[in-house]
A and B are shown apart, each in its own frame.
Chain A
Amino acid sequence: MKKILILVFIIVFGIMSFQGKVLQHFSGKGIINLELANKDTGVEIIALWSDTLYGDQTLLSIAQKNTHLDFLFILVYVVLIMTLSNSQMQREKTSWLNELLRLNLFLAFLIGSLDVIENIRLLHSFHHPGNMAEFWRTDFIAWPKFVLAGWVILIYVSSVIKGYF
């Protein structure tokens, strides 16, 4: 189960990284720039992607595909965090760290939920390039999401490293 999840995670992550690199290379802005952007910058990025061609499609179309694929990625990473944290819970003897690993289960769900909301907002904005009124900001969702993700990884890695001593 764990191995399959890690494999799917790597494949989806690889595809999304490739798409991200295309966006970054041809516009100088990646998906994360958009996620964390304020209204002005966000509208600017979407307008730029909408106007820039990559082969027979626009960069905006690639960003849309990337966001669609992100729904699968969310599912995979949420289950992966839960699986890894749960597995580590069965090895972690220190009560408070064991409790924090258990909190990871809930945080994984929370991070995934934030990411879903964020994607829905991004997809809405993609349908209105250059339209300031219809741009839905995501930075207030993306920041807590990244902070929580960092925390979850920190707890997991700390527990794993502690296990070697």
Chain B
Amino acid sequence: MIYNDRKAMDPAIKKDLIDKLLNNNISVSELIELRPEINEFDLSEIIQHIYDLNLEQVRKIAALAPVMAKVDALKNSQRNTRFIKKVKNNFRKHTAKHNGLKNRVVVVEGDSWFNYPILLSDVIDWISMEENMAVYSLASGGDWLMNMVSAKKYVEQLSTLQPDVFIISGGGNDLVGNRRIAAMVTHKGDSNEFENSAFAKYLYQNAANPPDKPEDFKRGTQFISKDFYALLAFFQLQYYFIINGILTGGKGKGENGKFPGIQVITQGYDYAIPSDKKIAGYNPLKWYRLFARTFLGHGGWLKTPLQLRGIYDPEDQRKIVYAMIYLFNEMMIDIGRIFSEMLGENRVFHIDSRGSVGKNGWTDELHPLPQHFKKTAAAFIHCINNPNKNGSAVIEVVKQQEGGQK
């Protein structure tokens, strides 16, 4: 059978490679071999094995709560009404009046960093305020990357809107939603699965940035089980599937892409800190911290699941999340490298928010304060206005901030 201009991989070999991925003993070359062969059916099979659930159960736990879905939809509706109003008015023909920058149409798919309704001004809120950017949002707080891949809402909008930029953020909820993080760790602190994971070691050795706290990273990996590494490789397969579809029509060659010149931007969160503390200061302007921490799931994403697994030391908890977020970002950066090599120029960029929020910059366990979302948004805005086609495809929020201050 011919698939994507290539001879399709023997199903038995493919199954063998998927089994290796699930058992955390797939080599990097095998993962590279497997990547272009993966289709939606395979992705669905893999997720069922990682989560030990059937597809219906996986979909059930990944589904958005109805109220959440409605509030998210309302925010998207407001955003998209503004988008249409903006673009209708000759937006695509002109540059921005005030700063002279080229106008850009942006389509966004993502989770709560991109759509946090009512209470916070999230990353996309700040980007949308730019005069030269019209942003169409499909993002939903609490959404799983798996849902984004299977629902493919972005495909329709990319075809209709033919944007200059596609921004995607996902994976956080696949890891922490429904207390899933508990299944990705072991309480004994003697795991050597990092050493067994050729992919994770490859990411570490080829890292864009070494961890700023190597000892914390090492300690964190001692609690991480093989399921996390399988999920990490699975994330890369999902992102590869999405981006390869956009940039090459799934065929691995740039000339087959339906969206010539489109810029894809990803992000990978910051080092969240497991916590169930309700009080985080007494500034009345930050009243929403107490509200979010009391009513909106704070503690239930990271802290409680880790405690449920018997990991009680707050420092160990922090280090586990540190190691996970570190590797997640490096995996995303690797995606950019893959497509730079494939297409001969940077088309996939990564906004690296690691270290930008700090200890006291969080609204709750997972979401920064609006001022920190704004910092991440500034990096996105810089990347959209000044895409570096041949240099680094990684924009570090911390450095961007320092540059801005200078």
Contacts and interface: CB of A to CB of B under 8 A. Distances in A.
A1 B129 contact: no
A102 B74 contact: no
B111 interface: no
A164 to B, nearest CB: 13
Interface string B106-127: 0000000000001111000110
B249 interface: no
B125 A106 contact: no
A103 B291 CA distance: 12
Interface in A18-36: none
Given A99-B370, A102-B370, A103-B287, A86 B118 contact: yes
Interface string B22-40: 0000000000000000000
B121 A89 contact: yes
A87 interface: yes
Interface footprint category on A: 10 to 19
Contacts of B288: 102, 105-106
B246 to A, nearest CB: 27
Given A90-B78, A93-B129, A99 B285 contact: yes
Interface string A86-106: 110111110100111011011
A1 B371 contact: no
Interface in A57-71: none
Contacts of A100: 285
B253 interface: no
A95 B371 CA distance: 7
B128 A90 contact: yes
A18 B276 CA distance: 51
A103 B284 contact: yes
Given A98-B370, A105-B118, A1 B74 contact: yes
B121 A90 contact: yes
A95 B374 contact: yes
A90 B370 CA distance: 11
Main secondary structure of the interface of A (DSSP, over half): helix
Given A95-B371, A95-B374, A100-B285, A87 B78 contact: yes
Contact of B119 (A87, A93, A98, A102): A102
Contacts of B120: 102
Contact of A90 (B129, B287, B374): B129
A90 B373 CA distance: 13
A97 to B, nearest CB: 11
Nearest to B129: A93
B165 to A, nearest CB: 19
A102 B284 CA distance: 11
Nearest to A100: B285
Nearest to A95: B371
Interface centre among A1, A92, A102 (most CB of B within 10 A): A102
Nearest to B284: A103
B121 A98 contact: yes
Contacts of B129: 90-93
A120 to B, nearest CB: 25
Interface string B369-383: 011001000000000
A90 B118 contact: no
Interface string A101-141: 01101100000000000000000000000000000000000
A165 to B, nearest CB: 11
B254 to A, nearest CB: 36
Interface in B287-302: 287-288, 291
B226 interface: no
Contacts of A102: 119-121, 285, 288, 370
Contacts of A92: 129
Nearest to B118: A86
Contacts of B74: 1
Contacts of A91: 129
B367 interface: no
A78 B119 CA distance: 15
A73 B370 CA distance: 31
A87 B78 CA distance: 8
Nearest to A86: B118
B79 interface: yes
Interface of A: 1, 82, 86-87, 89-93, 95, 98-100, 102-103, 105-106
Given A87-B78, A90-B125, 17 more contacts: A86-B118, A90-B121, A90-B128, A90-B129, A91-B129, A95-B370, A95-B371, A98-B370, A99-B285, A100-B285, A102-B120, A102-B285, A102-B288, A102-B370, A103-B284, A105-B118, A105-B288
7 contacts: A87-B78, A90-B129, A95-B374, A99-B285, A102-B120, A102-B288, A105-B288
Interface of B: 74, 78-79, 82, 118-121, 125-126, 128-129, 284-285, 287-288, 291, 370-371, 374
Across chains A and B, which 7 residue pairs bring their CB atoms closest together, nearest first?
A93-B129, A106-B287, A90-B125, A99-B285, A95-B371, A89-B121, A86-B118
